[in-house]
Structure 1
Amino acid sequence: MTRQDVLGVAEARKQLPDLLARFGRGSVDSVFLGSHRKAVGVLVPVRVYDELRGERARAVDDAAGSLRAEGPEPSSIAAELAGLFTQGRITAGQMEAMLLAYHRAA
């Protein structure tokens, strides 16, 4: 399924058992959900989701390690936001904006 193949709610509901079976057989293809051919969500196999979270965690660890190598420890707000990013609860852009707003206000 390509990104242009966006399933509407009714079609996704109808195909859900087949989609889950496909994931269970090892498919790593994502399924885009939305309306009017505009994707607003995506279903991914757990294996892909776990990989993405792992990549986020490694990126955060690398950034914190680079900062520590230069001397300072990450601030508590940076550590908290990095945790939210690693969990997939905020995007990299949101984390950056929140950190900038926090440090500008301080």
Structure 2
Amino acid sequence: MARQEVLGVAEARRQLPDLLAGFSRGSADSVYLGAHRKAVGVLVPVRVYDELRGEREHAVEDAVGSLRAEGLEPSSVATELAGLFASGRITAGQMEAMLLAYHRAA
């Protein structure tokens, strides 16, 4: 998938009313934000964000269900990190690294 152009702060500020109007009209296009053509963030419509968050929550529910089917329960640390992942506060890679660090230290 090809990336869109990256808007700098000044350009994003100028285009923000039009971008929000596009989202209100149903546009699902993402808007990349950054500097020097390097994206550091992305602006997405709420419905796209909600869908992505729902997919994360569903993935966590599936993982917990698989554990329970094996007669196991996730640890309190795993449950906390899964919640952070599901809410979009950490990435899957960060969650994995934190879980590995926790279990190596234990």
| TM-score, scaled to structure 2 | 0.97
Query: What is the alpha-carbon distance in structure 1 between the residues aligned to residue 68 and residue 75 of structure 2?
Result: 11
Contact kept? 2:85, 2:92, Cα under 8 Å = yes
Query: What is the alpha-carbon distance in structure 2 between the residues aligned to residue 97 and residue 68 of structure 1?
Result: 23
Shift of 1:4: 3.8
In the alignment, what sits opposite 1:35?
Answer: 35
- Over residues 43-99 of structure 1, what are the superposed CA-to-partner deviations in whole Å (9 max), with x where a residue is unaligned? 000000000000000000000100111111000000000000011100000000000
In the alignment, what sits opposite 1:24?
Answer: 24
In the alignment, what sits opposite 1:72?
Answer: 72
Identity of aligned residues (%): 84
Query: What is the alpha-carbon distance in structure 1 between the residues aligned to residue 5 and residue 17 of structure 2?
Result: 18
Partner secondary structure for residue 49 of structure 2: helix
Contact kept? 1:56, 1:85, Cα under 8 Å = yes
- Over residues 9-48 of structure 1, what are the superposed CA-to-partner deviations in whole Å (9 max), with x where a residue is unaligned? 0000000000000000000000000111110000000000
Contact kept? 1:4, 1:37, Cα under 8 Å = no
| TM-score, scaled to structure 1 | 0.97
Misfit runs of 4+, over 4 Å: none
Structure 2 runs not aligned, ≥5 long: none
Aligned alpha-carbon RMSD (Å): 0.8
Structure 1 runs not aligned, ≥5 long: none
Alignment-mate amino acid for residue 9 of structure 2: V
